[in-house]
Structure 1
Amino acid sequence: MTKKMVTAASYGMVTAFALIIAVAIVLATLFKFTSLDEFSIGELPMLIISFCALFIGGIIAGAKMREKGLFIGASTGFSYSLLIYLILFLGYDRPLGWDQYLTILVNIIVTGMGGIIGVNLSGASKKR
């Protein structure tokens, strides 16, 4: 990977993490000041929030790279998933199961689609 690819993937990952942290702060505030708790929300909305953040991160990575949107998006999604699951495996002693493998695959697909859209939004095709 070239320096430009690493930079673009890093921008996408930082964007995804920033969005997830922002949503986590909002949810923590809701949990603190309302009767809402983690168990009443469930796992599906958290996955949807994660996929939305990754999609936006893919758009940012693709716009930064301005070419090879699918590749840079998929690389961003894979790097994000690798980091998250390394933390889960090493920090929380939680082995990977089929549901995690499926989540990693969907992360890569969603971020790759975001990368494709990001390249097209960046105006790379207008330069030709």
Structure 2
Amino acid sequence: MSRRLKMILAAGIGLAAIVGGTGVAYAMMQADNSAQLRATGKVGEQADGYLGIVGSADAGLRAQVDAINIKRRAYYTDLAAKRNAKIEEVAAATACQLFASKVEPGQYYRLPDGVWRQREAGQTITLPGYCA
């Protein structure tokens, strides 16, 4: 993990503690319906910080996912500018948080290897190395 990414992750954790446990990224994403979409099993969280479609989807689902990802990209862009970081680093750091606490049993997630996995009950998601 790069020193820069470690610093961004540390700053994110510190900011989450200041905000009060839920974290800024979570507060930003609570306004969208990503939790409901993940619950359908047709959408999952990805290591790049964006939602992805598991398998095929109709135009309506694609539009919903695109709308959420546009909001996330705007958030990541803003936060990256404030922290003098790359958008991709902020998005990856947020993905670490999402994997750790938002992906519920039965829901899908995709690590950097590109393989969709379904979280099982009692399973802890093995986070990418850059999340450490």
The normalised TM-score by structure 2 is: 0.40
When you count strand as a share of all residues, which structure comes out higher? 2
Of structures 1 and 2, the one scoring higher in RCO (CA 8 A, sep 6+) is 1
